[in-house]
Chain A
């Protein structure tokens, strides 16, 4: 994690679409009157989704005005939570590379190297074609299938540098591969197939405890 700053080029204005506006009003109404500030994270998240995956500065002001909050309070929240992207993300994919210990031990650094080569040297900066960005994040909870990356809502697990290239190729072509393990294992079952209870006939039940 590093110091998070607002992007230098911000849009002049931001407004919710009619549909999101109605959704926002309903969300605010979920909370008691005067406690609208509780809706700040859902609203910011919806603004980020509407704005191509990143949160522009006018959206923070809009949300603050909608909730009767001081601008600085919304700014604090947007800079605190790293899932709020403060600079533009790739049009096709924003890659979260898990860099926490289990993934790191299983080769996450090689995945970061792929991102640096294929996307950009620095995290949070757009690839030349503007289709990709990447960042290293903390544990995404798929440690059994380390190393892994998350793109959008999907996780890609059991990666090697070559497999990550394939995943990225898929996104570039507009045809993302199947989410989950990329070496074909089911969920987090043993990678080389079952290792226990393989041959029922050989089982020696006489040794079982009585």
Chain B
């Protein structure tokens, strides 16, 4: 039953069960708060959100008071809530004065300065001075790992960080020891936190107690140019804000998008920023006498053009990497098609996903937001905690509300308990045939979900595994909600869905990645164009002329004969499609270093030299052509449900299942791509995680 309230003289009708602070927000009244956060449980310990409720002799903490808990007026008239009365003003000033008693006045040297809730609210709601003359409390610094820097004198005990790590991140490592004035936030014996989402706690910290250690003392927030963009470290497509100063990206912070990442991002997404500065390819190189030597753009483009012109089309190949945007893949595909080459592939891990079966056969069809409706989830050959950390937090959120999870594959700590069904395809077959008890659970579920990891599709029997999973999904959702598609592929890399959407796959009679590599070994391939492709063994490429276009000097560039320096995702506007098929666009936050160019423009310039000039000479013209061919990419930030026919085609594909146990796609969370491998922070985290897994304590790094 909706509840009538009068907030600051304005009558409002609010829904049942919400809290007073939410009702005030709906009435357009701002309530200051420190401990309250809409995505965390209610603590009610900062007392900043006090409001005056008619009939209550004392001010009320609005975050902890439900509208249903307000006693009704005798005559049935709506309750009157006031937030601007002298009583509320005095209460806020009093709370603020208490909070500041032990808070140091070190704003000029504090990294939170300029974007600090305490600073802002002290200005807006505080009392001019302090009557406290005694000494302030002093608290020892804590070691919380290489990502979070502490200045515990500043802590106001809101416990947001403790609630975040326990509830959302799902690692019970942060806690509050001691009591009263001596309460301190720490981990058990100051071990570094073992979470992929740990640094979100620093965003939640309303003061400067937890700040980003890698970025300590290098910027002031008002110096930074803020650009809204998209993350490419995994296939979730988290919405981020890239903050740059001058030519350098200083930091990456999350943006709110309830449909994708809520307001969390993984530590890799956030702290990969230093990888954007190191190992950069900032000028073209040509291999002469076995060494890469700097060269001019003219020289390298002519050299590459000559190679492409002279080679037979069937002796040319191209592989698109994990961070490639849709635009450059489209341009390169067009160029190769015009040359008559058919050997092209965007599936570096040799996954058997095929766009010809239809879009639903390779998407996360239930959508990320849809996880919150699921009641039974079957994970196949995936470790979502490592492959899509933010998405895993969504599964955990759903599990907390009551959702059963089953796993076929490698055992791992997913931050929530699950029923372990088995290690290999045998179990998958049992579930598909209805022989396993979990099949009955799926059949009873209203909104079942089957999530297949990308590693499953990359196996030699990948088609059979996908087919079995599709059969389970179809069987479980038959006769239920017609708009619900239970089949989900969880991709691990950002470029894959766009690559499949625009058909960066072998043409008629063309070779896929495995085929190209074996052709390269046997000398049947003459020229191989790597568009940021680094994730395979370069030992296969001894006999082939390798063109590497990309942003970082990683495996591919080391082997290359010609290096064409491109842009990283923060330096160009490019389209990425996330695992659920949501097209999103990055924006340029900084310019690429040195002579590096935007990737689509490199391909365009090359096409002119080859004599097969592409029909677009601006990014907007390219996009017009792209959208004409692949309309799905034009619908930014929207998910169009894909036709179920794709899943049916997959289910019909069949095939013989192997016996090898399943594996997850990501081994080392922190080092999955060229940018992350260039980052010193990621290297440190990777080493820390390895040490912890080998049983050493991990204390002090």
Contacts and interface: CB of A to CB of B under 8 A. Distances in A.
B174 A3 contact: no
B178 A71 contact: no
Given A70-B173, A80-B177, A75 B182 contact: no
B176 interface: yes
B648 to A, nearest CB: 42
A1 interface: yes
Contact of B173 (A2, A72, A79, A80): A72
Interface string A52-87: 000001000000000000111101100110000000
A35 interface: no
Contact of A71 (B176, B179, B182, B188): B188
Given A72-B174, A73-B175, A80-B179, A3 B184 contact: yes
Contacts of B176: 76
B187 interface: yes
A1 B180 contact: yes
B461 interface: no
A25 interface: no
A106 to B, nearest CB: 26
Interface string A1-12: 111101000000
B141 interface: no
A76 B182 contact: no
B188 A4 contact: no
A3 B178 contact: yes
A57 B191 CA distance: 14
Nearest to A78: B177
A72 B188 contact: yes
B182 A2 contact: yes
B172 interface: yes
Contacts of B179: 1, 79-80
A4 B178 CA distance: 6
Interface string B161-182: 0000000000011111111101
Interface in B171-214: 172-180, 182, 184, 187-189
Contacts of A57: 189
A30 B195 CA distance: 34
Nearest to A76: B175
A79 B187 contact: no
A79 B172 contact: no
Contacts of A80: 177-179
B173 A76 contact: no
B163 to A, nearest CB: 13
A38 to B, nearest CB: 17
A76 B177 contact: yes
Contact of B172 (A2, A4, A70): A70
Nearest to A79: B177
Contacts of B178: 3-4, 79-80
Nearest to A70: B172
A72 B172 contact: yes
20 contacts: A1-B179, A1-B180, A2-B182, A3-B184, A4-B178, A6-B189, A70-B175, A70-B188, A71-B188, A72-B172, A72-B173, A72-B187, A72-B188, A73-B172, A75-B177, A75-B188, A75-B189, A76-B176, A76-B177, A80-B178
Interface of B: 172-180, 182, 184, 187-189
Sorted nearest first, the 3 A-B pairs with minimum C-beta distance are: A70-B172, A72-B175, A79-B177
